[in-house]
Structure 1
Amino acid sequence: MMHQHGHRPLSGWLNGLLGVLIFSGSLPATRVAVLELDPFFLTFARASVAGAAALLLIAVFRAPRPARSQLFSLGVVASGVVIGFPLLTALALQRVTSAHSIVFLGLLPLATAVFGVIRGGERPRAAFWLFSVTGSLLVMGFALSRPLAVSLAGDGLMLAAVAVCGLGYAEGARLARTLGGWQVICWALIISLPFMAVAAFITLPPALSAPSPAAWAALGYVSLFSMLIGFIFWYKGLATGGIAAVGQLQLLQPFFGLALAATLLHETIDPMMLAVTLGVILCVAGSRRFAG
């Protein structure tokens, strides 16, 4: 038993960490893409590219088809992480910088935990909710301290994105225990593919030469890494190391993301942004302590 206890969480953590590192590039890459590409086209195209890759993976490894009883859960995962989060963040990033949007990711572990309660039957203690609400209030205070014209639409979209993403994470992790981590994201992409491919074709930019190589590179990143490869590690990590424990790794994502936004996009990161991010992280760490 000791042996099993020793290596299981570590592999879960390592997979989770790889997933988080890959996801950290998602918002900066989405920001680069939406400066030139329509957010709807971006959402449909990234899901189509990832869906085609998922079909290939399933075919190569001859993965068994999901049971009929698992289709509803796959639909929930697809609506949360294949459609909802990418589209809502793309729309938000037309309005706010990726550095600004990244602060909202501090709420993702909380959103995941809330859906862990709703969908997974977990019952955290009162102190958990005290910390989590404080973290949410910090983020809200930060959002409201900005010029309102910029914030309200972008921030509302980011909050909605975090909510649907938390649902997609919790549902996907629950399903990964029976279906397998990489199969969950692959099947979610595959069931979305017919709709996404048609929608991508309809929203195709008029002249394909118009967007810059940077925009296409960003689309490539969010398609293959954010939509597929990152989830393979993430769901495997959550299934192996536990949703609550490995979910904590999301707390590192705002820091990785802000570093990327500063280096790649030369976006300014003010002390207030860092302070709020740190505050949110402390709150979520506290809430995790009382999760079980």
Structure 2
Amino acid sequence: MSHSTALPALLPSHREQTLGLWLGLIGVVVFALTLPMTRLATGTADAPQLSPWFVTWARAALAGGLSAIYLLATRSPLPAPEHRQPLALSLLGNAIGYPLLLGWALRHVTASHAAVITALLPLATAAAAAWLLHQRARLGFWLFAGLGSLLVAAYSVLRAHQLGHGFGLAWADLLLVGAVIAAALGYVAGAKVTPVLGAERVISWVCVMALPLTVPGALLTWPDQPINTSAWWALLYVGVFSMWAGFFAWFRGLALGGALRVSQLQLLQPFVSILAAVPLLGESLDAMTLGFAVAVVATVFMGRRMAAPPIAYPKSNKETS
């Protein structure tokens, strides 16, 4: 092909791929705290705090304000027309779909419970990478990922039965699955334009593009009842870090290390979420939750070992093997 001689120059070096993994890890820790912080912000069905609608709009509006300042300070040019579709997909997935579905689900399940379901995120992100970025993995990767999905479904059914809801998937778990799909599509869409726009500009443009929706949405859903101070602090965290600063590291990590590879760092995310929920929410460490989390993460880890590199060239075989 006429462009084959230019492609090796675009392949990240081994050092850049390692940096991508570290940046991805930082992003995972930031995002892991999103679950307990979101539950702290929204409260529970019995003791509600901020509406999930308000949390969704307000966190994106807060990030949008910071993004506008950043883009103006760096004199960033407007995205090219071909970049707007991936940015819009990231907007729908990361700025609206994921936080809204997660917020409603966390009104009814614990952050630890949600951490097990959202452990499916590496599978969903890898599938989105295969679809949008044309990255591929070996059959073994998908077999282990499928096993992880079955474990998550089994956990949900057993937990529902344990709570007296019979054998079946709870609607909150379906919301969590929807949140996972939305986040995965948003992650990969953002990673698609990161090499051109830069990680910081990708999430910043996403948040700025969302302002015509998020600012009116936040004003229309502003709480009219007293809210705990802890809920406002949690909203500040998910607005500044979960919605904005965390993506600086995450999108850059996906671009440098490869979305298929770096996405597997999310196997650490459920454990960070479960552990953080203990001091933040007073949740207890549940043996069944921890057991299923370990089993799901183990399947994702084994799948990661079978994942093919995003792009392979003869000159870089030693570096990527």
TM-score with structure 2 length normalisation? 0.87
Q: Give 1:12 deviation, angstroms.
A: 1.2
Q: Which has the higher helix share?
A: 1
Question: Does 2:242 align with 1:226?
Answer: yes
Q: Give 1:122 deviation, angstroms.
A: 2.0
Q: Give 1:8 deviation, angstroms.
A: 1.2
**Residue 264 of structure 2: aligned partner:** 248
Q: Give 1:6 deviation, angstroms.
A: 4.3
What SS does the corresponding residue of 1:57 show, helix, strand or coil?
helix
Tell me how large the CA RMSD over aligned residues is: 1.5
**Whole-angstrom CA distance in 2 between matches of 1:130 and 1:101:** 23
**Residue 312 of structure 2: aligned partner:** none
Q: Give 1:10 deviation, angstroms.
A: 2.5
CA contact (8 A) 1:95 1:153 kept: no
CA contact (8 A) 2:261 2:307 kept: no
CA contact (8 A) 2:39 2:103 kept: yes
Question: Does 2:244 align with 1:217?
Answer: no
CA contact (8 A) 2:118 2:177 kept: no
For structure 2, the residue ranges without an aligned partner over 5 or more in a row are 1-7, 44-48, 309-321
Q: Give 1:179 deviation, angstroms.
A: 1.4
Cα distance per residue 1:170-219 (max 9 Å; x no partner):
11111111211111111111111111100111111114xx1111010000
Q: Which amino acid aligns with 2:175?
A: L
Alignment of 1:61-80 (within 5 A): 61-80=74-93
Q: Give 1:121 deviation, angstroms.
A: 1.1
Q: Which amino acid aligns with 2:264?
A: Q
CA contact (8 A) 2:199 2:248 kept: yes
Q: Give 1:5 deviation, angstroms.
A: 3.4
Please tell me whether Structure 1 or Structure 2 has the larger radius of gyration of its CA atoms: 2
**Residue 276 of structure 1: aligned partner:** 292
Q: Which amino acid aligns with 2:156?
A: A
What SS does the corresponding residue of 1:146 show, helix, strand or coil?
helix
Cα distance per residue 1:203-242 (max 9 Å; x no partner):
11114xx111101000000000000000011001111121
- Structure 1 residues 275-284 or 9-18, which shifts more? 9-18
TM-score with structure 1 length normalisation? 0.95
Of residues 201, 209, 224, the one that matches 2:219 is 201
**Residue 195 of structure 2: aligned partner:** 177
Cα distance per residue 1:139-179 (max 9 Å; x no partner):
00000001354961110100000011111111111111121
Of residues 106, 111, 117, the one that matches 1:98 is 111
Of residues 31, 34, 56, the one that matches 1:26 is 34
**Whole-angstrom CA distance in 1 between matches of 2:233 and 2:189:** 30
Cα distance per residue 1:11-55 (max 9 Å; x no partner):
212211111111111010000011111110111111111111110
**Whole-angstrom CA distance in 2 between matches of 1:55 and 1:198:** 17
**Whole-angstrom CA distance in 2 between matches of 1:239 and 1:147:** 39
Question: Does 2:166 align with 1:153?
Answer: no
What SS does the corresponding residue of 2:170 show, helix, strand or coil?
helix
Q: Which amino acid aligns with 2:205?
A: W
Question: Does 2:26 align with 1:13?
Answer: no
**Residue 132 of structure 1: aligned partner:** 145
Q: Which amino acid aligns with 2:185?
A: L
